[in-house]
Each structure stands twice: as structure tokens, then as C-alpha cells.
Amino acid sequence: MTILIADIGGTNCRFALGRQTVLPDTVARFRLKDHHGFDAALDHYLAGQGQPVLTSACLAVAGPVIGACAQLTNSGWSLDASVLAGRLGVDVTLVNDLVALGHALPHLSSAATVPLHAPAQRYPNGQSVVVGLGTGTNIAAVIHRAERPPAVLSAEAGHLSLPGSITRRLEGRIGAGMSAFHSAESIFSGRGLAALHTALHGATVPSLALTSHPEVPEAGETLSLHAELLGVWLQEIALLTLPRNGIWLAGGVAQGLVRAGYATVIAEAFAAPNSNNGPTGAIPMHLITDDLAALTGCLAAVRQA
Amino acid sequence: MTILIADIGGTNCRFALGRQTVLPDTVARFRLKDHHGFDAALDHYLAGQGQPVLTSACLAVAGPVIGACAQLTNSGWSLDASVLAGRLGVDVTLVNDLVALGHALPHLSSAATVPLHAPAQRYPNGQSVVVGLGTGTNIAAVIHRAERPPAVLSAEAGHLSLPGSITRRLEGRIGAGMSAFHSAESIFSGRGLAALHTALHGATVPSLALTSHPEVPEAGETLSLHAELLGVWLQEIALLTLPRNGIWLAGGVAQGLVRAGYATVIAEAFAAPNSNNGPTGAIPMHLITDDLAALTGCLAAVRQA
């Protein structure tokens, strides 16, 4: 049994082969812009692996899956599972990339995650949520079930309007600059973090440069506000998904904020009392640091199917 | 096998006994304020049924269930499943009332629902959402699974901040009156509908009077705005739950808006293009008209447990 698995994000694409687990020697990473479409990247990968005999395939995509098709939100690529099945000669499953991370949760080792907030009191209810903050922004709510795979809810949360709890804070800081921020993704993606810096300081700096150099004073102000607003947004996400088993952050922006030292700002803004929230302070928060987690989720999803 | 089932809402409480289905002759309705606490209402009901021998009990409550306990949001009542189990001598399950409606969806007859929007094209993805609009406001996302009971996600969506897409529309109509509206429940509950009328027209009119007399011109203006804002809010809920199998509205306010003739306003605002939404026009919308639907859901939930 050899399963082709892939995680096709907004910027990068990862391929691997899996059996019971992801086979580490088969992992390959590409930048999307280095290939003219998914088919070229796939051919290149399979040739490099010596044209392995496959039993099935499961591809995680950063975008909505409608029927057998997926249109990637942040690239021009589109995928059709039935066309791919014809090319590969095996069944092909497409899943949203955050849904794949949801399926991965029960299989992540402690080395694959870092705790950001470990409450003294917990009230597990069998619900979790994965929040992806990278090239795009999205969530997947997870319902854990005893001795069975979890059920994972697909969403398009990046397109949500910003809630009043965030716009009120933003207005006080950037005034008319607000018009750049309409959706969750417009502020919580990498592009959004860079846009927030521009709104605050007028300078154009890529998000990776901001999180890699937090010691630059103006970067620190941007990162601090971004982390605070993220904590407030997570309060809203918590009301919608009641993740008493935990929140798992994922993606390059989340990793960058934590690496730069802003995990506490996120957790404190999330746990702060407000007129709307329940006992958010009792909800654990983690960061997924394993870049192959979505591939693990693809394997779990295809074994469940 | 005789199961005690109950639906304890924000204003009313329904008890019944169930076997394969709800036994119609055993249904009893109370107003919460007519009894001094849940125990008194329960004793009154069981005495009226001749102290039936029970095999288990499942109670749906309008409020969050944390562990074995529930605190009702809109009444002073609180319930503890282990204390109740001791009183009744059988296992007692507590579920959120919207979660009960989610479990009921596969069991609702066509007589129990009314279609509000039936799109020509559909893209079912196995996800639905129930949106409860009554004394309180809440949602439950449902993941349908072949030949198995659905998985239902508990939420506390009534406490969500109003999104920018709604506050922008409201500000244009009521200006400083905005301060009365901070959460979804502050506008979409019965109390919220009445508060919207007060903000628009200065008069204090109960929500039931507004939906029962839509021909009064000022009631019509309030109901039309309320229905439009609800459609916009459902766009946000759709981004979070991608309910391509359908949205089911439930509760007295939803029934009142539809009875008063505003189903089309809700559906059109929901399907209207905006910067954020996906193909919302392809999502079916229904109204749950059966007041016993949550009891049906209690039976389904306890059979699944």
C-alpha cells in the first residue's frame, strides 16, 4: 500500500508517499511559482521517486473543495479529482488543507506541537479547532469521537467580516487606514501582517522580515498589535466552535509570531475577560510546528474514507 | 424502553416520553415562569404521566453544557446530570438545544419544515447548520455521515460580536442607537427584534406583537431591516460552516419573520453578492416548523450515545 499525499498551500507545495505513516525519505518541497501548474509539479515528483506504484492519493489544498474539484485561493491552480484519478489510475481524494490538519490532530506527536497556553483548569468537551495563519487564513473545527476518526468541519473563515471587537481596536490605531481591512484574511494572513505594518508605519516590509527581525522597534509594535488582534479574533472563533479540547494554530504567520516572542500576547488577549466570552482562559492553545502535519492528515483522511 | 425527553428553552419547556419516536400523547408544555425550578416542573410532569418507569433521559437545554452541568442562559435554572440521574434512577444526558436540533435533522418529516429557498443548482458537501432564533440566538453545525448518526458541533454563537457587514448597515439607520447592539443575540433574539424597533421608532413593542401585526407600517420597516440583517449574518455563518446541504432556521423569531412574509427578504440578503461570500445562492434554506423537533433530536442523541 503506497499512498500519494500532497499539501498544496498558498506559496509552497509538499509531496510525499505514505504507508502507515509519512515516509520521511520521500518528502519533497516545491515553491508553487517554480512549476507551470500542478500536473508539471506532480510529474516532476513522481519521476524523482522512480514512478512508484500507487494504491490511492489524497491531496490537501488551500482552498474550497466543491464536489470533486478545488480551486486554489492564492494561486491559479485548479484540481479535478476525477481527471487526476484517470492520470494516476487510482482513487484521488481532495480535502481542504485545514481539514487535513484537523484529521492529523490525533496523530501529532508531542514533538510536532508547542504549548502556548496550558490552563490549570480544563473542561474538555470533545471539540477542537485548527486555525491556519499563512498565505491564507482559515479554520477547521474538529469533533473527537471515542475509538473512531474525528469528524472535521470544512470552512472558509478567511472571508469573514472583521467583528466589531476588532474594528473598534483597529480604528483607534490606524483611523482611515481601516479601509484596507475588511476580512479576517486581510489582516491575519502574511499579506495582512505586512499591510498592518504599512498602515501603522507607512513602510513596506514583507511579513517574514517582520517576524524574523522583531527587535526592530517598529516591527515590534506591529507584531504586538497583530498578536493582540489575533487573540481577540480567536475569542470569536471559540464562540463558534467551543474548542474546550484546545486551539491549534498552524501556518507560517503563526509560527513567525511565536518565534518572535508574541505567544503570550496572543494567549493573554484570548483569555482576557470581555462582554462576549465564556471561560476562554480554560481553553488550551498550541502551535503546530511540524510542516508535514497536513500530510499526516491526508493519510488519516484517506484511511477513514 | 421509555425515554424521558425534554426541551428546556429560554421561555418554554416541553416534556415527553419517547420510544422509537416521540409519543404524541405524552407531550406537555410549560412556561418556565410557572414553575419554581426544573425539579418542580419535572415532578409535575411525571405525576401527570402516572410515574412511568424510565430507561434513560435526555434533556435539551438552551445554554452551554459543561461536563455534566448546564446553566440556562435566559432563566435562573441550572441542571446537573449526575444529580438528576440519582433522582430518576437512570442515565441522564444533557445536550445543548441547538445540538439536539442538529441530531434531529435526518429524522424531520417534510411536514416538519418549510423550504424558504430552493436553489436550481446545489453542491452538497455533507455539511448543514441549524440557526436558532428565539429567546436566545445560537447555531449548531452538522456533519452528515453515510449510514451513521451525524456529528454535531456545539457553539455559543449568540455572544459573537456583530460583523462589520452588519454594523455598517445598522449605523446608517440608527446612528448612536448602535450602542444597544453588540452581539448577535442582542439583535437576532426576540428581545433584539423589539430593541431594533425601539431604536428605529422609539416605541416599545414586544417581538411577538411585531411579527403578528406586520401590516402596521412601522412594524413592517423593522421586520424588513431585521430580515435583511439576518440574511447578512447568515452569510457569515455560512463562511464558518459551509452548509452546502442546507441552512435550517428554528425558533419563534424565525417562525414569526416567515409567517409575517419576510422569508424572501432573508433569502435574498443571504444570496446577494458581496466581497466576502462564496456561492451562497446555491445553499438551500428551510424553516423548522415542528415545535417538537428538539425532542426528536434528544431521542436520536440518546440512541447514538
b/e code A173-208 from CB counts within 10 Å (16+ = b) = ebeebeeebbbbbbbbbbbbbbbbbbbbeeeebebe
pLDDT band at A275 (very low <50, low <70, confident <90, very high): low
| Mean pLDDT calculated for residue range B6-13 | 89
Q: How far apart are CA B252 and CA B112, in angstroms?
A: 14
Q: How far apart are CA B113 and CA B100, in angstroms?
A: 16
Q: How far apart are CA B184 and CA B286, in angstroms?
A: 20
A contacts of B166 (beta carbons < 8 Å): 161
| Mean pLDDT calculated for residue range B261-282 | 84
| Mean pLDDT calculated for residue range A149-161 | 94
A contacts of B131 (beta carbons < 8 Å): none
CATH number of residue B11's parent domain? 3.30.420.40
CB A45 within 8 A of CB A18: no
Helices marked H in chain B: 38-48, 81-88, 97-104, 164-174, 185-188, 190-201, 207-212, 217-241, 252-259, 263-271, 293-304
Of the two residues A276 and B23, the one the predictor is more confident about is B23
pLDDT surpasses 90 at B76: no
User: What percent of chain A is predicted at pLDDT more than 90?
Assistant: 78
CA distance, residue A112 to nearest chain B CA (Å): 26
Sequence-distant (≥ 6) Cβ neighbours of residue B43 within 8 angstroms: none
CB A225 within 8 A of CB A195: no
A contacts of B242 (beta carbons < 8 Å): 64, 153-156
pLDDT tens digit sequence for A224-240: 999 999 999 999 999 99
pLDDT tens digit sequence for B215-234: 888 999 999 999 999 999 99
**What would you report as the CA-atom Rg of chain A, rounded to the nearest whole angstrom?**
19
pLDDT surpasses 90 at B280: no
Number of independent structural domains in chain B:
2
Q: What is the ipTM of this complex?
A: 0.93
User: What percent of chain B is predicted at pLDDT more than 70?
Assistant: 97
Beta strands in A118-197 (DSSP E): 127-133, 137-145, 148-153
Is A154 within 8 Å of B66 when comparing Cβ atoms? no
pLDDT tens digit sequence for A204-221: 999 999 999 988 889 999
Name the residue among A11, A20, A29 with its Cα closest to residue A132: A11
User: Are B55 and B198 contained in the same domain?
Assistant: no
CATH number of residue A148's parent domain? 3.40.367.20
User: Are A189 and A40 contained in the same domain?
Assistant: no
User: Are B227 and B124 contained in the same domain?
Assistant: yes
User: Are B126 and B165 contained in the same domain?
Assistant: yes
A104: enclosing H helix or E strand? helix A97-104
pLDDT band at A164 (very low <50, low <70, confident <90, very high): confident
pLDDT of residue A195: 97
Task: Tell me if chain A has a CB within 8 Å of the CB of B167.
Answer: yes
User: Are A173 and A297 contained in the same domain?
Assistant: no
Beta strands in chain A (DSSP E): 3-8, 12-18, 28-31, 56-61, 65-66, 69-71, 78-80, 92-96, 113-117, 127-133, 137-145, 148-153, 246-250, 285-288
Work out the mean pLDDT of chain A and round it to a whole number: 93
pLDDT of residue B275: 59
B contacts of A152 (beta carbons < 8 Å): 143
- Which domain does B22 fall in, by range? 3-103+293-304
| Mean pLDDT calculated for residue range A191-212 | 95
Name the residue among A92, A91, A108 with its Cα closest to residue A142: A108
Is B276 within 8 Å of A183 when comparing Cβ atoms? yes
User: Are A126 and A274 contained in the same domain?
Assistant: yes
CB A31 within 8 A of CB A75: no
User: Are B68 and B151 contained in the same domain?
Assistant: no
pLDDT band at A3 (very low <50, low <70, confident <90, very high): very high
pLDDT of residue A74: 66
User: Are B15 and B144 contained in the same domain?
Assistant: no
Of the two residues B73 and A230, the one the predictor is more confident about is A230
User: Are B209 and B249 contained in the same domain?
Assistant: yes
pLDDT band at A148 (very low <50, low <70, confident <90, very high): confident
User: Are A55 and A194 contained in the same domain?
Assistant: no
User: Are B99 and B127 contained in the same domain?
Assistant: no
pLDDT of residue B158: 94
Q: Give the three-class secondary structure for A283.
A: coil
Q: Give the three-class secondary structure for A242.
A: coil
Is B64 within 8 Å of A242 when comparing Cβ atoms? yes
**What would you report as the CA-atom Rg of chain B, rounded to the nearest whole angstrom?**
19
User: Are A89 and A223 contained in the same domain?
Assistant: no
Sequence-distant (≥ 6) Cβ neighbours of residue A67 within 8 angstroms: B123
C-alpha cell at A99: 481539514
